[in-house]
Amino acid sequence: MKNEEAVKRLKTVEGHVRGVQRMISEGEYCIDVIRQIQAVQSALNKVSKMVLEEHMNSCLIKAVRGDEPDERERVLQEIADIYEAATKV
């Protein structure tokens, strides 16, 4: 993952959030607001996926290949925790 790409995406999300705030302030149609919120959530999920992929391709691989069993277990538990948190509704 390139940090520049993640930052660019987050700036886009920031603009969309401001748009949602404006829509709510101006009393826009609720379903239109919800659609915009869903677009923001989708964009944030994409950034989260990018960060997780980078983590798995760097930190996780380093820990799994390393000689420290506690570090391996810690990093694998982090992945499990993230997965659990992501699947909660």
Q: How confident is the model at residue 64 (pLDDT cuts 50, 70, 90)?
A: confident
Q: What is the pLDDT of residue 87?
A: 83
Radius of gyration from C-alpha coordinates of the chain: 18
Instruction: Flag whether pLDDT at 54 surpasses 70.
Output: yes
pLDDT tens across 11-43, in order? Answer: 999 999 999 999 999 999 999 999 999 999 999
Which domain range does residue 15 map to?
Answer: 3-87
The residue type at 37: I
Domain CATH for 24: 1.20.58.1000
Number of domains in the chain: 1
Burial status of residue 83 (CB atoms within 10 A of its CB: 0-12, 13-18, 19 or more): exposed
- What is the pLDDT, as a whole number, of residue 89? 62
